[in-house]
A = this chain, B = another copy of it.
Amino acid sequence: MEDATPIRAGTAAWWLARTANADDRPRRRRILSLDLIADTALSVLDAEGAEALTMRRLAQQLQCSQASLYRHVTSRDELMVLAMDRAVGLGLEPPPEGLDWRRTVEWQAHSFRDFLLAHPGLVPFLRGTERLSPSSLIGMEHSLGRFIDIGLSVREAYATASAFATFVVGSVQFNLGVDTASPMEQGLRRRLYEGLDPDHYPILVAHADELSRMGSQEEFEFGLAALLDAIEARLR
């Protein structure tokens, strides 16, 4: 049963192996469970960031030894993948009933983005490997259904659903670490733009004040509307 080349966490091979083993794994009553470990990891990751989530810290939180964690999880990487699956499940809330398809997609994009903005520590772990986790697959199933129902092909529905997810992930990833809404950060940014060489950066210098006040919201709304319009155009 030993693998010479260990399977990397999050790959299709890994998810396959994990779900296959789920049933015949010994299911004794015990205090320490995989679920509890993943939940605790997520709460520490969310509250204090990735660098605070160490195996020692987690063991302390769960009142067990570090070594015990490795009975349920083969590595820290694997733990992160499992914790992120839970995060996706929490972030993908079901949209309200009764909205048309455009409002529904719009609502879900905003909802998931707001969730990620509120939990920035999770964002760097939203990689391609996370797309195959159970919670992500539920989201994909629903998205595919929605887009197929309005007339897209399976291929189109997949590309469209993925493009929305991609854009939301990019929106939060590419704004990590900056608070564009903060007046102090805006002031510093204005000074940075103003101080540039006007020969090389004429536009940034000329519009320093206006540009320094631009936040991430505008770019998100522009891109989201563009994606939605593209679907409507394809339906006609």
* Residue positions of A touching B, CB distance < 8 A: 8, 10-13, 15-16, 19, 124, 126-129, 131-132, 137-138, 140-141, 144-145, 148, 154-156, 158-160, 162-163, 165-171, 173-178, 180, 185, 188-189, 191-192, 195-196, 200-204, 207, 210-211, 214, 216, 218-223, 225-227, 229-230, 233
Distance between Cα atoms of A88 and B138 in the complex (Å): 36
* Cα–Cα, bound, A153→B13 (Å): 49
* Chain A residues touching B, majority SS: helix
Query: A131 CA to B215 CA in the complex, in Å?
Result: 12
Whether the Cβ atoms of B177 and A169 lie closer than 8 Å is no
Q: Which 5 A-B pairs have the closest CB atoms?
A: A170-B170, A226-B230, A12-B188, A162-B219, A128-B178
> Are B171 and A166 interface neighbours, CB within 8 A?
yes
Determine if A214 and B178 form an interchain contact, defined as CB atoms under 8 angstroms apart: no
Instruction: Please give the count of copies of this chain that the complex contains.
Output: 2
Q: List, in ascending order, chain B residues with CB within 8 A of A158's CB.
A: 211, 214, 218-219
Given known A-B contacts A12-B185, A12-B189, A137 and B169 have beta carbons under 8 A apart = no
Inter-subunit contact A154/B223 (CB<8 Å): no
B222 touches A137 (CB 8 A): no
Chain B contacts of A223 at CB under 8 A? 163, 166-167, 223, 227
Residue of B nearest to A211 (CB): B158
Q: Is the CB of B12 within 8 A of A214?
A: no
Whether the Cβ atoms of A188 and B218 lie closer than 8 Å is: no
Closest to A12 in B: B188
Chain B residues positioned under 8 Å from A170 (CB to CB): 166-171, 173-174
A100 to B192, CA, bound (A): 32
Q: Which residue in chain B gives the minimum CB-CB distance to A145?
A: B203
Most B CB contacts (10 A, CB to CB) among A16, A156, A158, A210 go to A158
Task: A200 to B139: give the CA distance in the assembly, Å.
Answer: 11
